Structure 1
Amino acid sequence: MSRTDLIYNELVKEIHKEGVWDKGESVRTKYSDNSPAHTKSIIGRQVIFEAEDIPIITTKHVAWRSAIAEAWWIWFMRSNKVEDLRQLGSKVWNEWELSDGTIGKAYGFQLSKPVRKTEINIKYGEFGYSHRYKCKVNQVDYLIKQLKENKSSRRLVTSLWNIDDLDYMALEPCVWSQQWIVQDEKLNLIVNQRSADVALGVCFNWFQYKVIQSIIAKLTNLEVGRLVWNFGHLHYYDRHEEKLLEQIKGKTHNQPILALPSKEELEYYIYVENPCKDNLMKMFSLENYNHNGKFNYEVAI
């Protein structure tokens, strides 16, 4: 059994045993039949994954390719166009697509906004050239620059929560901020999640942030450190409860092996040319991912 399964199963059991239902409250989320989607929840929990952990559960299949596609779309394409994500092979944002084809001023839109003017030196290695220029940089490029030049900083924070833009988002960010801390040449990542759907979102988000952390570490010549996850509101939905409790009783398997592309290949697809679906999927592999098959859960919108 992997540590991830142990951690995940205990969280589900804790919600079941100690959680509080909001069934007497008026809730925003609804199912496709327009019925209210109520939750049972606990608040304020933290889990820690060590560097060697691959945080993906095995009691059900996690759509890891889709998780990587969404991570790439948000963090490295920095796009809010849903068709861009579909072209990478993921449909996870289809239900929130607005009439203009975007998710509004959310997620990738926030990471693409310039944060300050600075000098950047981009090197494409065997794929291109080096170029130094002064420009307005976004949060991700600025983070990478600081990790290379000022890695002892305690101000390496990225945020998707912009109070001025909340009314223009299809969905306010659930995973809303990250702090990046380097110790002993290892890149540690603290992730803050305001609202966490344990049946669908949690197992998806854990894995994709491990991938994001690993990519940023490779781009900045650092080793991967701890992944620390802080939950605000951790819950499952009423229509998920029975199947979720069945799921965690299933057989567990050893954790798989995650393989990433080279630094040069990452730089090419980040700075030179956006990858197509096939290229993106060839860049990453998850070997020996054994699981108990799919458990389908109704999505609450």
Structure 2
Amino acid sequence: MADANDRSRHWEWQYLDLMRRIWEEGDERVDRTGVGTRSLFGETIRFNLADGAMPLLTTKRVYWKTATRELLWFLTGDTNIRALCAQGVEIWTDWPLDRYRRETGEPIERAAFSRRIVEDAEFAERWGDLGPVYGKQWVDWPTYQPVGEGLYKQGPGVNQIAELVESLQHNPGSRRHIIEGWNVAELDAMALPPCHKTYQFHVANGRLSGMLFQRSCDLGLGFAFNMWSLALLTRMLAQQCNLEPGEVVWTGADVHLYLNHAALVEEQLSRIPAGEGRLTFNRRPASIFDYRIEDMTVSGYAPQEHIAAPVAV
């Protein structure tokens, strides 16, 4: 155990203390996946982005490039896993794979399924789409226009990201700097309803802060990506809007650990956080939609070993 001074110095103690409380005090329940969880409701973690600091967990390795590729994919509005699989990013593959196995009865391995998604465009179109998940809502929220006699046609989509940048640049004091993913009318069409559902941004003293409300959080696996993506999006927006990075605030509603993650929890709680990764942008892209993985360099990140754990689908 670290002393009080250690805890005050490293942000990650917020995460480890929450993990311990969930595992020891959380309400045990049967969840959607059938695996079972222990959970607490309404938790918050904060991180200061000053001097390029980024909220990368150090008690296990976080694959920040994978998380970054996912965020950049969201910003394209794409909802098919083909572009992700082509980059070796498999974090969304299990949902289409599960559907394929269930509907065809073919016990295909994930690697073979991903390879076919990449190599066969028709197969990818049929089996690789996730429905109107995050990116679709972020950059192409559907609208409908009346055409008479009670009928409607689809109108132009709302690009929430573009409108957010415009709002931050021209009306920084607004309380409406929001990205929303929870489109009630389309939830049933999504492979997974949005977990990191609502982002809000705040400008004060030339600094941009970001807050995420997450309805459901797998603390053992998902949180590390969610926290990184919140910070990265805030940093990207700050650069585009000529602001300094401020603070990121993550708030989780149902924050849980899966019962089959006991080995992960015990191992991670035995480790002491140390060090801090820092992010540098190698250029300033023309717009928020033009960032590439090559634009980002992380330095000073020296995590402890990766801890493997199963994903509940």
Name the counterpart of 1:261: 282
Name the counterpart of 2:254: 233
| Bigger share in helix | 2
Q: Any unmatched runs of 5+ in structure 2?
A: 1-5, 100-125, 144-155
Shift, 1:164, TM fit: 0.2
Name the counterpart of 2:197: 176
Cα 1:90–1:267 shift into 2, 3 Å = farther
- For normalisation by structure 1, the TM-score amounts to 0.82
**Are the counterparts in 2 of residues 58 and 253 from structure 1 also a CA contact under 8 Å?**
yes
Name the counterpart of 1:8: 15
In structure 1, how many angstroms separate the alpha carbons of the residues matched to 2:164 and 2:287? 18
Q: Does 1:140 align with 2:144?
A: no
In structure 2, how many angstroms separate the alpha carbons of the residues matched to 1:269 and 1:234? 30
Structure showing greater radius of gyration is: 2
Q: Does 1:106 align with 2:133?
A: yes
Name the counterpart of 1:90: 89
Name the counterpart of 2:147: none
In structure 1, how many angstroms separate the alpha carbons of the residues matched to 2:282 and 2:78? 22
Shift, 1:50, TM fit: 1.6
Cα 1:182–1:37 shift into 2, 3 Å = same
Shift, 1:270, TM fit: 2.4
Superposition RMSD in Å: 2.0
- How far does the alpha carbon of each residue in 1:70-123 deviate from its partner, in whole angstroms, 9 at most, with x for none? 11111x21211111222344111111236442110111011121579xxxxxxx
Name the counterpart of 1:247: 268
- Aligned residue type for 2:47: F
Match of 1:285 among 290, 297, 300: 297
Shift, 1:5, TM fit: 2.0
The aligned runs of 1:67-216 (5 Å cut-off) are 67-74=67-74, 76-97=75-96, 99-113=126-140, 137-216=158-237
**Are the counterparts in 1 of residues 77 and 140 from structure 2 also a CA contact under 8 Å?**
no
Task: Give me the identity figure in percent.
Answer: 28
- The total of aligned residue pairs comes to 264
- Aligned residue type for 1:9: L
Shift, 1:261, TM fit: 3.1
Match of 2:27 among 20, 23, 35: 20
Moved more, 137-146 or 238-247: 238-247
| SS across alignment from 1:13 | helix
Name the counterpart of 2:54: 54
Name the counterpart of 2:122: none
In structure 1, how many angstroms separate the alpha carbons of the residues matched to 2:300 and 2:46? 23
| SS across alignment from 2:289 | helix
**Are the counterparts in 2 of residues 106 and 171 from structure 1 also a CA contact under 8 Å?**
yes
